[in-house]
C-alpha cells in the first residue's frame, strides 16, 4: 500500500483547504484505531492494514464532525459504498466528503463521490460475501426450526444491549432509534430474552437493502455475536428477490421503500 | 502455606462447587476469555484478560426490583428477594477486585441497596496476581498493582515459574473458603513469581487538577472525536454502575427492571422537557472522565477507575481511558503555572 | 369478550400445556378489504374457528414487522397478515410496500428460529367472506398441527425471571 502518497495527499487536502478534517487510521498497541487529523503534520500518523475494520463513514453522523466539512475519509470499497448510499439516502451532499480510496493493497488516490461511484462500478462491482459466513448460513438453514431457535437463543443471550453494532454502522443514523421509543416500548430494553431477539432482528431488518456487508458491526460487538450471519442473509434475500446492490448508485431508490407491481407473491395465499 | 498445581485449578473449582459455592472463573469462550460460572466442561484460562468484569455477578445486567401480580384491575405486590447464592469469584484480576470498593460505596451511599448487598455479602473474592500485563493495563497509575490485595478475601499467587499457585487467605471469608477447599489444596512451600511490570503512565492528582480548571477546554472535542456513543466501555467497566429503570408487563405480571445504562448514550441525560445538558459526545466523554477522576475522588476519596484497560481493548472506535489521561497530563504540562 | 379455554399461569402468563390447548392466532388485517371480508363472513353466518384475534389497521402498509414479533412475543402461536389484493389498495400502494417487507422479513424470522408454518400472509377482499372463513379454518388447523409456540423460543422468552 502506497502509504507515503496517501499521507502526502491527506496533508495536501488539509493544507489547501479541500478538507478541514481527515478521518483515517493510526496505529495503537499493534492494531489500527480511527484517527482524526486536522493539521497537515498529523497526516504522517496515518496507516492502513487489514485490522482497519471500522467503517469510518459512521462518523458523518456526528454533528461535530459534519461541522468540519469537507471531511476526507480513508475508505475501502465497503466504506465507499456506505458513502454513496448515504448520498442516495440524502444524508450527505457531494461537497461534504472527499475520499482517500483504498482497496486491498492499492491506494487509488483522492476521489469525489462521483468518481468513487465510478471506481466501485468499474473495479469493485462483485464484492463477494465471506465464504465462511455463507457456509455457516447454509449450515443454519439446514437446521430444523427448533435447532435454529436454540442456536440464536444462545447467541442472543450474549447481547448486553451496548449498541456498539448500531454505533459502528454508518446506516444507523436515526437520531431516535426504535429501541429508544418508549411510548410504546416496542422492544424490551432488558438485556435478555425477547428484547435481545427483537433488537438484533429488527436492526437486521432495518438494514434490508441498505447493508453493504462491511462487517464493522460484528467487529465492534464486544461479545462476539455473529451478526454478519443475519446481515448477510438479509442482504442476500434483498439482492436475490429485489436486485438490491446498495452503494453502487447514488440515485438509486431505497429497496424496501419502493416496490414493483410484479414483486413475488407466491407465499401470499 | 496452602498450594496447588496451576493445572489443578479446575479441581479447586469443582471442590468448591461441591461445597455449595457458585464458582465464577475466567473461562475460554471461542476466541475470547470471559468470567462465567464454572461447569465441568469449562476451560479455565488465567493467561488472558477476560472481556467482561465480575460486576454482572453482583449487579446483573437486568434485574427485577419490583414485582406485581395482576388480575384484571387488581394487583398484588410480590416480594422481591432474589437468590444471593454463596459465590466465589475465583482467579479474577486484582483490578477487578479493587473495583468492588467503588460498587460497595455507591450502593451504600445515599441508599443501602439490599439487592446488591445480599449478593456482595455472599461473595468471596480471590484475585490472582498478574504475571503478565499488556499495553492497556495501567493499574499502577491509579493506586493499584498487579499483586494488590484490595477487595480480596484471599490471594492466589503464581509460583515456581507458573507451575504452582499459592492460596493466601486474608479475611474470614477467605479462611472459610480455604477450609471448604479441603484436599484440593496441599500444605507446602513454593516461591512466588514476580508480578508483572506495569509502568506508571500518569498521575491522577495532576489529571484531577487539570480537570478542575478545564471544563470548557477544546481538548474535549479532540479527545472524543472517535467516540461513537455506544455502551461497550461502560458495560465492560468494573466500576461503572449507572442503571436505567423500565417497567414491563404481561397480562398477569408487572415488573420494574433495573438495567445497565451508559453515560455515553445520546439520550442518557435527555430531560422529559426535551433539553439535554450533554448534547454532544464531547460533553458525554468529559462527564465520563470527570466522574472517574474528579467527581468520585471528590465525593468518596476513591478513584473511579482501577486501570483494567478493558474499555480500550474492546472499544470499536479506539477510545481509551489511559490515552485520555496521558493526553490530559501532557496538556497539563504545557499550561503555564496556575496562580492560586 | 370470549372466554379463552386455556388458563394462563399466574406467574408466567404462559398457557398451561393441557389437552385444552387451542391455538391463539393474531391477525393483522386492513380495514378496507380483509376486515370487511371478515365482516361479510359474519353477516353470511359462515362458521369458522374462533381462535383468531383480529387487529384492524387502516392498511397493510401500516404494518411494521415489529407487530408480528410482538404478537409472537406476547403469546400468539400463529400470526396472519392480510390485506387488499395488489391493485385494490384503498391507499393505492400500501400493500405493495407491505409485500416487499413481508418477503424479506419472513426469511429473517425463519432463519432465526420462528417456524415458517406459524406465519401466514394473504390477500382477502371485501367480497371474499367465504375465502376469509376458509382461510381462518386452514390457518387454525395448521397452527394446531404446529403445536403451542415454545415459550423458550428466543422471540418469546421473557427477559426476566
Q: Which chains touch B (3 or more CB pairs under 8 A)?
A: A, C
**B76 interfaces chain C, CB cutoff of 8 Å:** no
**CB atoms B257 and C160 under 8 Å:** yes
Which of B221-231 are b and which e, b meaning 16 or more Cβ less than 10 Å from the residue's Cβ?
A: bebbbbbbbbb
How far, in Å, CA of C157 to CA of B189, rounded? 52
User: In this structure, are residues A182 and A143 in contact, taking their beta carbons and an 8 Å threshold?
Assistant: no
User: In this structure, are residues A235 and C83 in contact, taking their beta carbons and an 8 Å threshold?
Assistant: no
Which residues, 6 or more positions from B169, have their beta carbon under 8 angstroms from its beta carbon? B2, B153, B154, B175, B177, B178
How far, in Å, CA of A185 to CA of A168, rounded? 24
Residue to mutate among B34, B199, B316, B323, with most A CBs inside 10 A, is: B316
- Using an 8 Å CB-CB cutoff, list chain C residues near A190: 159-160
Cis previous bond, A33, omega within 30:
no
How far, in Å, CA of B190 to CA of B161, rounded? 10
The predicted pLDDT at position C3 comes to: 36
How far, in Å, CA of B69 to CA of C9, rounded? 11
User: In this structure, are residues C46 and C129 in contact, taking their beta carbons and an 8 Å threshold?
Assistant: yes
State yes or no: pLDDT of A156 exceeds 90. Answer: yes
**Residue A158 DSSP SS3:** coil
Residue to mutate among A188, A242, A269, with most C CBs inside 10 A, is: A269
Closest CA to A83 of A119, A50, A57: A57
- Name the residue of chain B whose CA is nearest to A180's CA: B267
Query: Is C9 inside a domain boundary?
Result: no
State yes or no: pLDDT of A191 exceeds 80. Answer: yes
Task: Give the gap in angstroms from C-alpha B253 to the nearest C-alpha of chain C.
Answer: 7
State yes or no: pLDDT of C146 exceeds 50. Answer: yes
Closest CA to B44 of B54, B55, B33, B53: B33
Helix (H) or strand (E) holding A27: strand A21-28
**B64 interfaces chain A, CB cutoff of 8 Å:** no
User: Domain map of chain A by residue range?
Assistant: 3-123, 131-242
The predicted pLDDT at position C1 comes to: 36
- Using an 8 Å CB-CB cutoff, list chain A residues near B262: 162
Quick: pLDDT tens for C8-67. Answer: 544 455 555 556 899 999 999 999 999 999 999 999 999 999 999 999 999 999 999 999
- Using an 8 Å CB-CB cutoff, list chain C residues near A207: none
Q: Are strands B87-92 and C25-30 parallel, antiparallel or unpaired?
A: unpaired
Q: Which chains touch A (3 or more CB pairs under 8 A)?
A: B, C
Task: Give the gap in angstroms from C-alpha A70 to the nearest C-alpha of chain C.
Answer: 36
Domain containing C132 equals: 29-146
Query: Is C20 inside a domain boundary?
Result: no
The predicted pLDDT at position A241 comes to: 96
What sections of chain B are H helices per DSSP?
9-18, 94-106, 114-121, 172-181, 204-213, 219-224, 232-236, 281-290, 296-300, 310-314, 321-334
The predicted pLDDT at position C118 comes to: 98
**Average pLDDT of span C130-152:** 97
- Using an 8 Å CB-CB cutoff, list chain A residues near B62: 190-192
- Counting the structural domains of chain C, the total is 1
**B64 interfaces chain C, CB cutoff of 8 Å:** yes
Helix (H) or strand (E) holding B128: none
The predicted pLDDT at position B338 comes to: 53
Radius of gyration of chain C (CA): 16
Write out the three cell numbers for B108: 451504600
Listed by number, the residues of chain C in 85-104 with a beta carbon closer than 8 Å to a beta carbon of chain A are 86-87, 93, 96-97, 99-104
How far, in Å, CA of C82 to CA of C85, rounded? 9
- Using an 8 Å CB-CB cutoff, list chain C residues near A269: 120-123, 135
Q: For chains A and B, what is the number of CB pairs under 8 angstroms?
A: 105
**CB atoms C159 and B248 under 8 Å:** yes
**B242 interfaces chain A, CB cutoff of 8 Å:** no
* CB-closest option in A190, A220, A224 to B32: A224
Q: What is the pLDDT along chain B (340 residues), one digit of tens a residue?
A: 999 999 999 999 999 999 999 999 999 998 899 999 999 999 999 999 999 999 999 999 999 999 999 998 899 999 998 889 999 999 999 999 999 999 999 999 999 999 999 999 999 999 999 999 999 999 999 999 999 999 999 999 999 999 999 999 999 999 999 999 999 999 999 999 999 999 999 999 999 999 999 999 999 999 999 999 999 999 999 999 999 999 998 889 999 999 999 999 999 999 999 999 999 999 999 999 999 999 999 999 999 999 999 999 999 999 999 999 999 999 999 876 554 4
Provide φ and ψ at B75, rounded to 5°: -140, 145
The predicted pLDDT at position C6 comes to: 42
**Average pLDDT of span C60-76:** 96
The predicted pLDDT at position A121 comes to: 97
ipTM: 0.94
Write out the three cell numbers for A223: 461479545
- Residue A22: which pLDDT band, with cuts at 50, 70 and 90? very high
Write out the three cell numbers for B336: 503555564
How far, in Å, CA of B18 to CA of B181, rounded? 9
Query: Is C90 inside a domain boundary?
Result: yes
- In the predicted model, what is the mean pLDDT of chain C? 91
The predicted pLDDT at position C5 comes to: 37
User: In this structure, are residues A129 and A235 in contact, taking their beta carbons and an 8 Å threshold?
Assistant: yes
Q: What is the reported pTM? A: 0.94
**B30 interfaces chain A, CB cutoff of 8 Å:** yes
Whole-number Cα distances in Å, B131 to A41, A212, A267, B47: 39, 43, 61, 9
Task: Give the gap in angstroms from C-alpha A169 to the nearest C-alpha of chain C.
Answer: 19
Task: Give the gap in angstroms from C-alpha C40 to the nearest C-alpha of chain A.
Answer: 19
User: In this structure, are residues B117 and B52 in contact, taking their beta carbons and an 8 Å threshold?
Assistant: no
DSSP symbols for B24-76 = EEEEEETTEEEEEE--TT--B-SSS--SS-GGGGTS-SEEEEEEEEEETTEEE
- In the predicted model, what is the mean pLDDT of chain A? 96
How far, in Å, CA of A180 to CA of A187, rounded? 9
Which residues, 6 or more positions from B51, have their beta carbon under 8 angstroms from its beta carbon? A222, A223, B32, B33, B34, B236, B310, B313, B314
Owner of C-alpha cell 401470499: A268
Residue to mutate among C104, C147, C158, with most A CBs inside 10 A, is: C104
Task: Give the gap in angstroms from C-alpha B293 to the nearest C-alpha of chain C.
Answer: 35
- Of A185 and A166, more confident: A166
The predicted pLDDT at position C18 comes to: 54
The predicted pLDDT at position A47 comes to: 97
State yes or no: pLDDT of A39 exceeds 80. Answer: yes
Which residues, 6 or more positions from B231, have their beta carbon under 8 angstroms from its beta carbon? A160, A161, A162, A163, A164, B260, B261, B262, B264, B265
- Name the residue of chain B whose CA is nearest to A21's CA: B225
User: Domain map of chain B by residue range?
Assistant: 2-187, 204-334
Whole-number Cα distances in Å, B56 to A191, B29, B37, B50, C119: 12, 17, 11, 13, 37
- Name the residue of chain B whose CA is nearest to A174's CA: B266
- Using an 8 Å CB-CB cutoff, list chain C residues near A268: 99, 102, 121-123
Write out the three cell numbers for B317: 472506535
Which residues, 6 or more positions from A117, have their beta carbon under 8 angstroms from its beta carbon? A84, A248, A249, A250
Quick: pLDDT tens for A61-94. Answer: 999 999 999 999 999 999 999 999 999 999 999 9
Task: Give the gap in angstroms from C-alpha A120 to the nearest C-alpha of chain C.
Answer: 26
- Of C10 and A13, more confident: A13
Amino acid at each position: 500500500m502506497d502509504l507515503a502518497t496517501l499521507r502526502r495527499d491527506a496533508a495536501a487536502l488539509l493544507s489547501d483547504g479541500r478538507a478541514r478534517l481527515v478521518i483515517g487510521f493510526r496505529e495503537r498497541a499493534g492494531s489500527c484505531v480511527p484517527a482524526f487529523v486536522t493539521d497537515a503534520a498529523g497526516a504522517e500518523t496515518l496507516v492502513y492494514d487489514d485490522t482497519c475494520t471500522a467503517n469510518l463513514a459512521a462518523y458523518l453522523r456526528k454533528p461535530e464532525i459534519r461541522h468540519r466539512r469537507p471531511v476526507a475519509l480513508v475508505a475501502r470499497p465497503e466504506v465507499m459504498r456506505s458513502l454513496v448510499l448515504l448520498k442516495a439516502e440524502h444524508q450527505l451532499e457531494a461537497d461534504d466528503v472527499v475520499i482517500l480510496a483504498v482497496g486491498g493493497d492499492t491506494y487509488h488516490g483522492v476521489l469525489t463521490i462521483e468518481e468513487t461511484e465510478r471506481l466501485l462500478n468499474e473495479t469493485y462491482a462483485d464484492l463477494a460475501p465471506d465464504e465462511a459466513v455463507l457456509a455457516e448460513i447454509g449450515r443454519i438453514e439446514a437446521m430444523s426450526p427448533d435447532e435454529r431457535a436454540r442456536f440464536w437463543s444462545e447467541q442472543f443471550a450474549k447481547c448486553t444491549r451496548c449498541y456498539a453494532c448500531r454505533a459502528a454502522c454508518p446506516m444507523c443514523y436515526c437520531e431516535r432509534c426504535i429501541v429508544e421509543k418508549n411510548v410504546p416500548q416496542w422492544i424490551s430494553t432488558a438485556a435478555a430474552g425477547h428484547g435481545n431477539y427483537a433488537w438484533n432482528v429488527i436492526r437486521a431488518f432495518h438494514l434490508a437493502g441498505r447493508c453493504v456487508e462491511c462487517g464493522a458491526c460484528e467487529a465492534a460487538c464486544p461479545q462476539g455475536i455473529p451478526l454478519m450471519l443475519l446481515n448477510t442473509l438479509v442482504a442476500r434475500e434483498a439482492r436475490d428477490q429485489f436486485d438490491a446492490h446498495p452503494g453502487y448508485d447514488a440515485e438509486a431508490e431505497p429497496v424496501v421503500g419502493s416496490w414493483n407491481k410484479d414483486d413475488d407473491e407466491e407465499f401470499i395465499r | 502455606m496452602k498450594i496447588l498445581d496451576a493445572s489443578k485449578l479446575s479441581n479447586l473449582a469443582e471442590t468448591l462447587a461441591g461445597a455449595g459455592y457458585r464458582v465464577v472463573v475466567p473461562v475460554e469462550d471461542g476466541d475470547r476469555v470471559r468470567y462465567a460460572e464454572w461447569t465441568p466442561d469449562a476451560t479455565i484460562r488465567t493467561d488472558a484478560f477476560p472481556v467482561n468484569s465480575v460486576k454482572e455477578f453482583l449487579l446483573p445486567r437486568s434485574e427485577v426490583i419490583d414485582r406485581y401480580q395482576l388480575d384484571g384491575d387488581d394487583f398484588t405486590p410480590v416480594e422481591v428477594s432474589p437468590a444471593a447464592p454463596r459465590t466465589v469469584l475465583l482467579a479474577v484480576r486484582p483490578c477487578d477486585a479493587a473495583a468492588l470498593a467503588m460498587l460497595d460505596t455507591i450502593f451504600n451511599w445515599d441508599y443501602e441497596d439490599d439487592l446488591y448487598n445480599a449478593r456482595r455479602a455472599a461473595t468471596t473474592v480471590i484475585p490472582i496476581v498478574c504475571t503478565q500485563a499488556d499495553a492497556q493495563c495501567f493499574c499502577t497509575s491509579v493506586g493499584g498493582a498487579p499483586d494488590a490485595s484490595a477487595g480480596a478475601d484471599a490471594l492466589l499467587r503464581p509460583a515456581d515459574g507458573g507451575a504452582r499457585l499459592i492460596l493466601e487467605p486474608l479475611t474470614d471469608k477467605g479462611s472459610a473458603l480455604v477450609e471448604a477447599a479441603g484436599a484440593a489444596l496441599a500444605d507446602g512451600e513454593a516461591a512466588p513469581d514476580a508480578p508483572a511490570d506495569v509502568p506508571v503512565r500518569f498521575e491522577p492528582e495532576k489529571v484531577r487538577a487539570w480537570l478542575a480548571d478545564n471544563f470548557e477546554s477544546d481538548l474535549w472535542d479532540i479527545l472524543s472525536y472517535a467516540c461513537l456513543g455506544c455502551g461497550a466501555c461502560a458495560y465492560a467497566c468494573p466500576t461503572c454502575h449507572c442503571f436505567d429503570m423500565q417497567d414491563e408487563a404481561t397480562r398477569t405480571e408487572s415488573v420494574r427492571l433495573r438495567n445497565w445504562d451508559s453515560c455515553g448514550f445520546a439520550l442518557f441525560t435527555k430531560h422529559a422537557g426535551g433539553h439535554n445538558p450533554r448534547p454532544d459526545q464531547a460533553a458525554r466523554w468529559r462527564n465520563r472522565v470527570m466522574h472517574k477522576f474528579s467527581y468520585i475522588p471528590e465525593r468518596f476519596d476513591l478513584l473511579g477507575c482501577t486501570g483494567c484497560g478493558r474499555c480500550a481493548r474492546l472499544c470499536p472506535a479506539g477510545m481509551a481511558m489511559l490515552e485520555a489521561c496521558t493526553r490530559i497530563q501532557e496538556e497539563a504540562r504545557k499550561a503555564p503555572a496556575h496562580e492560586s | 369478550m370470549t372466554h379463552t379455554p386455556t388458563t394462563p399461569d399466574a406467574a408466567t402468563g404462559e398457557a398451561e400445556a393441557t389437552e385444552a390447548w387451542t391455538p391463539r392466532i393474531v391477525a393483522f388485517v386492513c380495514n378496507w378489504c380483509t376486515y370487511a371480508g371478515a365482516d361479510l363472513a359474519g353477516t353470511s353466518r359462515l362458521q369458522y374457528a374462533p381462535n383468531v384475534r383480529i387487529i384492524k389497521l387502516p392498511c397493510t402498509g401500516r404494518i411494521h414487522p415489529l407487530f408480528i414479533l410482538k404478537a409472537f412475543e406476547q403469546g400468539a402461536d400463529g400470526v396472519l397478515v392480510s390485506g387488499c389484493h395488489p391493485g385494490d389498495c384503498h391507499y393505492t400502494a400500501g400493500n405493495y410496500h407491505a409485500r416487499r417487507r413481508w418477503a424479506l422479513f419472513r426469511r429473517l424470522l425463519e432463519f432465526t428460529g420462528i417456524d415458517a408454518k406459524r406465519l401466514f400472509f394473504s390477500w382477502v377482499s371485501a367480497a371474499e367472506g367465504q375465502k376469509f372463513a376458509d382461510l381462518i379454518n386452514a390457518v387454525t388447523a395448521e397452527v394446531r398441527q404446529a403445536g403451542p409456540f415454545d415459550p423458550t423460543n428466543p422471540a418469546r422468552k421473557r427477559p426476566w425471571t
